[in-house]
Structures are given as structure tokens and as C-alpha cells.
Chains A and B, each alone.
Chain A
């Protein structure tokens, strides 16, 4: 789960990380008001979206008056900000953060991640702040400083000092750096984060260490024990198909193709999508319906897949292990009778009681295209989709 910059700053500030003074605004007028409240003569107006690269896309504006703030906000509010991280649809700007400008002397990159190789929390830092970490890795890999945290004792102060000195931070600011690192680490572990990124962490002209930007992502599996973090979720930043799915307890990722997928098991779902691509089609989504292919679940899955208007054919691939193919077949038939479907549906069943399952599908009288192997399923799905589309096109031409 991702949160906004202003939320990450509030969280981190609670753990002792210094952040600039700032306030949230929901309108241009409110933004100007916030600036007056903050005082000072220079502010940064930042679009609050769940994506990086906002600056280049016009989502970050330096302003010297409340007129400039108002104008910057007029453009930003309601805009779909398109950055290299958002995809072409972009993300809607509904909140803006007004921050007191800070006199920057140096910019540093600081990140905390779950490193899968060491299976530990890892700190990644670089004196090349402001650049994206992928760019730093590619162009200045030697600038990267890493530290792995020993879970039995947590982040040690000596590790923080090592990082600070390696980054060339002057002795007078090392203590602040240690406090910042420890604060981020505590937030990371106490709140079950999967990522904390401060880019840039700035050293100011008046010798302060301040987080100028902050990003945090959290472990979805741990949100049951952090209700106050779970509350920070902003659905306006999510793909609506996926919000719908997650609200219904279904594992779904929306893609761009035309062939909808309903599969049990994440690996098998990915493999099914692969076979569609290899057969010349494009999957519309990933959907893992999990272990229980009950009629209700299968119906929910059909409705979810159909809510994507681009879908023109549906491929169901269920490997019944503990489930039985006859039960699954009943579920599919029941679901198809309940949900109006006017496109090709291809069903591949495998595993326990597969013949009984196939009989149920055949006897249902529903126009289900049956397949027995994975490749057959994908070929029939792509074939049915192509001929359906051609038919529809030729009908349009005829009329």
C-alpha cells in the first residue's frame, strides 16, 4: 500500500525525522491561505499523487507570492499528472501540499528496502541526491553506500555514522544524520513498511538535515495490525478495477489486452497469461481466484473481468486440486447463468474429476468452448476472440 508525500512526512516526523513546515490544501484558495499561515516568502507547491517524477511533469512549482501559488494550483487541481511512473492515463491531482522553501546546500539519496538477497532491511544511500535510484545505479554505482541491518539488534548508531562519513557529511551534522536514519528505520520496522525513500534528503545552508521529499510503501500483509496506516489509503490513486477487486477479496491486476483471465493460483495465472501472449493475444488482466472456486466466487470473478470494457473473450483455467472439477464446472455454469455474457468463454478444467466436470459444461447448453490442455485453451481463446471481432466488424460493415 502506497501513501502520499504529505502523509509520509507526517509519519516520519513522528519518528524524529526533520521535515519542512508544510500544510495540505484541497483548493487554490486554501493553498494560498496555507502559505500565509506558514509565513515566509517562498513556497513549493507539490501535487500529491502516488508516483515519482512529478517535477518534470509540472507537479512541483516554486512560488514567490500567493498569486503564483493560486495560479500553480489552478493548473494542478483536477489535472491528470502523467509521469514516467504513472502510465499514460496519469494520476488525478486532488490534493496539494504547500511547503516552506528550504535553502538547499546538498542533496542526498536515502532509501530503506527489504533486500531479498540478504533477507534483511537494507539502507541504500548516495551523494547523488535528486536522481532516481535506477539512474544512480546505472551511471554512478560507486557512489552508492549500503548497510544491512541485523534484525536481532536493529540499526546500530555506528552504521549510521559510517554512512554519514562515507557521504562526506561534516562532523557537525553527523548527529542529525544518525537521528534521521534511526527515525526512518524505526518507522520502517514499527509500521511494517516495504519501502522508505527520501529523495532528496537535503543539507541546508543553515546546517540542518531535512527530508525534502518522502515516499513510503507498506506491506499489505501487515495492514491488519496497523489500522491507522490502512486508513491512509487513497483510492483515487488506484486503478478503479483493482480497487473494486481488492474490496471484494479478489487478487486482480488490470492490463491492456482483450482476453480476460480467471485462474486459480498466481503462478498458473501468470503462466496462462503467457500462453495467451504466445498464441498471439493480449491478456486483459491477472486474476487469481484462490483456493475456493465456489459459484459465488466464480460469479464475482466474471463480473469483475467484465467490468473492463476492453474484454472481448474470457479464458477460465482452473486446476482443481482439492477442489473438484465437477464442483468448479457447476460454479462456472451457475455464474454464467447469473451474469450476462455475450462474448466467447473458454473453459479449461484439469485435475480431480475432470471428465465429470466436462460433462457438466457440455450438458449446460451454454456456449462454452471447452479445452483440456493449457495450450489448447489459449489457442481457442485467441482464435475465438479473433473470429468474434472479425464477425462484429463485418456486421458493422454490412449495416
Chain B
């Protein structure tokens, strides 16, 4: 089944005329994603990669019945673009943008809640590589060829570390149902717990891989959820063993500022909840393989 995205999902790209956006739109189309258009205010009527460009998300949805959106918009305008998508009835939005002010994201999350649950948009990111359901569709900037299609659900905060995990799995002939990047920011659209719930309900996902890092409460929240609601085996790796306290390590959200936020504390909390933790990042694939054998 996979989660959030498949080959039929109609996708628009906000910011499609940008250089990177064009490049990745091409990549997504080549992978098999059902990209139906783009949105750039003022460029309505143009064509990019054979796709129609619209001035507003509302117009794009009316013309194409788009259900999902990829926000490829610079930081000063990205929050506004996400809210525009929510307002226009987009069901699933991925925001790639790195650098959105944290308080903008507080407003985005609040804004999304003005809509009742049935109509509310799901957001993953910002500051993420995107979501891929191998063999079906790719919504983001990840390289499709490193993923094999299969039954491991991956959820992580880091793009390239997520690629590393997928790559280690592919080497062992193990495939992925869906890989979701929740991004490196402190205020994000979906937490680990949100995605774990979807994987738990997905028949296509048999094992879950959680790639965490220092900073924030979401790994601990995930541990609690796993302990109480997840019956499928979970393997985790938490990056940042050597990270010093109080310093931001690249991702805006990767900072140890309170108890329970260091890598070792998160490893303890996850292990206590029954998660198999890979101590070494090079072992992620091996641990998942072990867990799959045992299952």
C-alpha cells in the first residue's frame, strides 16, 4: 500500500520555475510521479517540463484536481506557500525549504488546525529531502535509484543519513515501502509519532526504521507510542553521540538544550520501549536484516 504517496497522487510543484525546482520536477516525472502542474505567482500560463504553471494553488487545484504539493520556495515566502496549499484543499504537502523562521512554522501549524480533520492538510518537513514510495512515486529531492521496493518503512530527520540507510538496505536486497523525511527543524509538520501511526496501519510495511538525532522531544514521544501502539519491529539509530551540549549541529533542531535530548539518552529511552538500536550508523542495514530474519 505504502503511505502518503503513490503513483496516482496528483502533484503540483510550488516554485516550479526555479532552477532546482525544474531539475527535481524532471527527476520526479522520470521516476513516475504523477506531476500535474506548478504554481508561481505571476507566471500563470507558462509551461515547465511540459506542465502548466498557475498563479495560485487554488487555480491549480481547480484545473488539475491536484492532491499533493511540493513546496520549493525560498525561506522568506515558504510558510505563506504552505498555508496557501492548506487553504486550497491540498491533502499532503512536502516542504523542502531549509531556513524557515521557527515562529513562521508555529503559525503554519496553527493555521493548518483551522480546518476540520477531514479537510486538514498533512505536512512533512520543512527542511527535509521529501517522501518516496519506491516503485511508485517520489515527492522531493532524493535519488530514486538508491531505493529498492519492499517492506521497510523509513522515517528520519536527515536526508543523506536516510539515503545511507536505504543504500545499506539495498546492498542486502532489502526494499522500502515508503521513506519519509520529517526534516531537521525544531517545529515540523509531522513528528516521528505521526508517521509511525501511518506505518503501523500500512499492510505493506513490516518493519520500521527510525533515524533520529540529538535535540527535541520527538524520539522520546515516539518511544512511548511504540511501547503502547506499535506491534511491528522497530530499528533505530540516533545520530550525534559526539555532539556537545548547547551547540546547533547543522539542522536548526539538532541542539541538546534539555534533559533527554542527547543521543545517548534517546538511545536509552528507545531501547526501554523495545526498539532495537543500532549503535553504529554502518550497522543500520544489518540490524534491520537481523530483525527481519527473526520475525
Q: Which residue of A lies closest to B27 (CB)?
A: A322
Proximity string of chain B (91-111) to chain A, C-beta cutoff 8 Å, 1 when within and 0 when not? 000000001111111110110
Q: Do A271 and B143 have beta carbons less than 8 Å apart?
A: no
A268–B187 CA distance with the chains assembled, in angstroms: 21
Given contacts A267-B239, A319-B163, contact A278 B102 (CB under 8 A): no
Q: Which of B175-221 contact A (CB under 8 A)?
A: 184, 186-187, 211, 213-214, 216-218, 221
A275 with B75: in contact, given A114-B186, A266-B184, A267-B159 (CB under 8 Å)?
no
Cα A328 to Cα B36 in complex, Å, equals 33
- How close is B75's CB to chain A, nearest CB, in angstroms? 6
> Of A151, A194, A277, A375, which contacts B242 at CB under 8 A?
A277
Tell me the residues in window 153-177 of chain B with beta carbons closer than 8 Å to chain A beta carbons. 156-164, 167
Asked if A253 is at the interface of the complex by the 8 Å CB criterion, the answer is yes
B253: which A residues are within 8 A, CB to CB?
A: 116
Could you tell me the distance between the alpha carbons of A352 and B193 in the complex, rounded to whole angstroms?
Answer: 32
Residues of B near A265 (CB, < 8 A) are: 158-161, 250
Contact present for B160 and A278 (CB under 8 Å):
no
Asked whether A399 is an interface residue with its Cβ less than 8 Å from the other chain, the reply is no
| Residues in chain A near residue B244, CB distance under 8 A | 253, 255
Determine whether the beta carbon of A253 is less than 8 Å from that of B249.
Answer: yes
Q: Does A162 contact B (CB under 8 A)?
A: no
With beta carbons under 8 angstroms apart, the residue of A151, A270, A288, A375 that contacts B243 is A270
Name B146's contact: one of A253, A269, A351 (CB within 8 Å).
A351
Known A120-B106, A321-B141; judge A221-B99 contact (CB<8 A).
yes
A residues less than 8 Å from B117 (CB atoms): none
Q: Are A275 and B110 in contact (CB under 8 A)?
A: no
Cβ of A321: which chain B residues have Cβ within 8 Å of it? 129, 141-143, 146, 159-160, 163
Bound: A99/B162 CA distance, A: 52
For residue A355, CB closer than 8 A to chain B, the reply is no
A252 → chain B closest CB, angstroms: 9
Residue of B nearest to A149 (CB): B106
Q: Which residue of chain A is the closest to B100 with respect to CB atoms?
A: A221
Contact A221:B101 (CB < 8 A) given known A266-B249, A322-B24, A322-B27: yes
Given the known inter-chain contacts A221-B101, A351-B167, please indicate yes or no for A114 contacting B187, CB distance below 8 A: yes
Q: Does residue A152 face the partner (Cβ distance < 8 Å to B)?
A: yes
User: With A251-B250, A270-B250, A350-B167 as given contacts, are A116 and B186 in contact (CB-CB < 8 Å)?
Assistant: yes
| Among candidates A189, A225, A268, A283, residue contacting B160 with C-beta atoms closer than 8 Å | A268
Do residues A221 and B167 form an inter-chain contact, with CB atoms below 8 A? no
Residues of A within 8 A of B239 (CB): 267-268, 270-271, 274
By a CB distance below 8 angstroms, the chain A residues around B221 are: 117
Q: Does A213 contact B (CB under 8 A)?
A: no
Are B110 and A152 in contact (CB-based, < 8 A)?
yes
- Select from chain A the residue with minimum beta-carbon distance to B251: A266
B76–A189 contact, CB under 8 A? no
Which single member of B106, B110, B160, B254 contacts A319 (CB below 8 Å)? Answer: B160
B23 interfacial by beta-carbon distance below 8 Å: yes
Asked if residues B280 and A151 are in contact (CB atoms below 8 Å), the reply is no
Q: Would you call A373 and B216 a contact (CB within 8 A)?
A: no
Query: Given that A114-B106, A253-B249, A322-B23 are known contacts, is A275 also in contact with B280, CB under 8 Å in the complex?
Result: yes
B203 CB to nearest A CB, Å: 29
- B44 on interface, CB distance cutoff 8 Å: no
Q: Are B146 and A219 in contact (CB under 8 A)?
A: no
A219 touches B101 (CB 8 A): yes
A197-237 at interface with B (beta carbon < 8 Å) = 219-222, 224-225
Give A254-270 as 1s and 0s: 1 = Cβ < 8 Å from B's Cβ atoms: 01000000011111111
- Would B250 and A286 count as touching, CB distance under 8 A? yes
Instruction: List the interface of chain B (C-beta within 8 A of A).
Output: 23-24, 27, 75-76, 99-107, 109-110, 129, 141-143, 145-146, 156-164, 167, 184, 186-187, 211, 213-214, 216-218, 221, 237, 239-244, 246-254, 259, 263, 279-282
If A137-B259, A321-B141 are given as contacts, then 8 extra A-B residue pairs at C-beta distance below 8 Å, sorted by A number, are: A151-B106, A194-B102, A253-B244, A253-B248, A266-B249, A267-B254, A270-B240, A319-B163
Interface set of A (CB-CB < 8 Å, partner B): 85, 114, 116-117, 119-121, 137, 151-152, 189, 192, 194, 219-222, 224-225, 251, 253, 255, 263-278, 282-283, 286, 288, 291, 319-322, 350-352, 373-375
